[in-house]
């Protein structure tokens, strides 16, 4: 089964899938560590929305073992997909092409695997870089409101996480988002 735009995961679905993935990893002696970005963070960590199409994961493994670890993780992801009748890419690493390093705020407790949640600043940088409107705009607004400081302070925190080649789009998106959220005064502080 491949990606289906009609397929949606709730918070409970994501947790159920990750728990099963952890059980399978433990059963085969595989240590799995990955970071979560994208819509799954908005569902799991912030409760900013109820549904997402998939779980965007960044496999965290030493370079020498990364390819083998990734291959084994995705074998297990396919098993979970089969057991739950989900698309095989319910958990994927497509977003890893946009993330050089993961800055995480929290470790999400799942037995058998370590799941790190991308930081608010990194999530906002990724959302601003993608800026597809709709749900990205809603997510970005929610993330912005969780950060504190002046416009300049928040922009400095977010800028390192912009996707190369998308900086101008992200800056325009940030300006628009700031104005929509807080008004025109760029030095206005909020908490």
Q: Do 107 and 126 lie in a common domain?
A: no
The answer to the question of residue 58 being in a domain is yes
Q: What is the pLDDT of residues 14-34, one digit of tens each?
A: 999 999 999 999 999 999 999
What is the distance between the alpha carbons of residues 158 and 162, in angstroms, rounded to a whole number? 7
pLDDT at position 1: 38
Q: What average pLDDT is seen over the chain?
A: 90
User: Residue 134: which pLDDT band, with cuts at 50, 70 and 90?
Assistant: confident
Q: Do 39 and 50 lie in a common domain?
A: yes
Rounded to the nearest 10 degrees, how much is the dihedral formed by the CA atoms of 163, 54, 115, 48? 80
Q: Do 88 and 149 lie in a common domain?
A: no
Q: Considering only CA atoms, which of 94, 98, 92, 95 is closest in space to residue 161? A: 98
What is the distance between the alpha carbons of residues 131 and 136, in angstroms, rounded to a whole number? 6
**If you search the block for the tokens 């995705």, which residue do you land on?**
74
User: Is the separation of the CB atoms in 174 and 182 below 8 Å?
Assistant: no
User: Does pLDDT of 77 surpass 90?
Assistant: yes
Full domain range(s) for residue 66? 11-118
Q: Do 105 and 18 lie in a common domain?
A: yes
How many percent of the chain have pLDDT more than 70? 93
**Burial grade of 109 (CB within 10 A; 0-12, 13-18, 19 or more):** exposed
User: Is the separation of the CB atoms in 120 and 143 below 8 Å?
Assistant: yes
What is the distance between the alpha carbons of residues 141 and 136, in angstroms, rounded to a whole number? 8
Higher-scoring residue by pLDDT: 187, 74 = 74
Q: Considering only CA atoms, which of 9, 17, 118 is closest in space to residue 60? A: 118
Q: Do 136 and 174 lie in a common domain?
A: yes
- Single pTM value for the model: 0.87
């Amino acid at each position: 089964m491949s990606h289906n735009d009609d397929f949606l995961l709730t918070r409970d679905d994501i947790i159920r899938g990750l728990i099963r993935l952890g059980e399978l990893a433990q059963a085969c002696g595989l240590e799995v560590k990955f970071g979560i970005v994208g819509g799954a963070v908005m569902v799991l960590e912030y409760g900013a929305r109820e549904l997402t199409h998939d779980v965007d994961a960044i496999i965290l493994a030493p370079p020498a073992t990364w390819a083998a670890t990734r291959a084994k993780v995705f074998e297990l992801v396919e098993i979970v997909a089969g057991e739950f009748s989900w698309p095989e890419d319910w958990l994927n690493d497509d977003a890893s092409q946009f993330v050089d390093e993961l800055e995480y705020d929290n470790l999400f407790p799942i037995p058998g695997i370590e799941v790190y949640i991308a930081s608010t600043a990194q999530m906002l940088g990724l959302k601003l870089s993608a800026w597809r409107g709709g749900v990205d705009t809603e997510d970005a607004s929610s993330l912005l409101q969780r950060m504190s400081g002046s416009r300049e302070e928040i922009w400095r925190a977010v800028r390192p996480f912009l996707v190369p080649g998308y900086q101008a789009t992200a800056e325009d998106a940030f300006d628009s988002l700031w104005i929509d959220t807080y008004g025109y005064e760029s030095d206005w502080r909020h908490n």
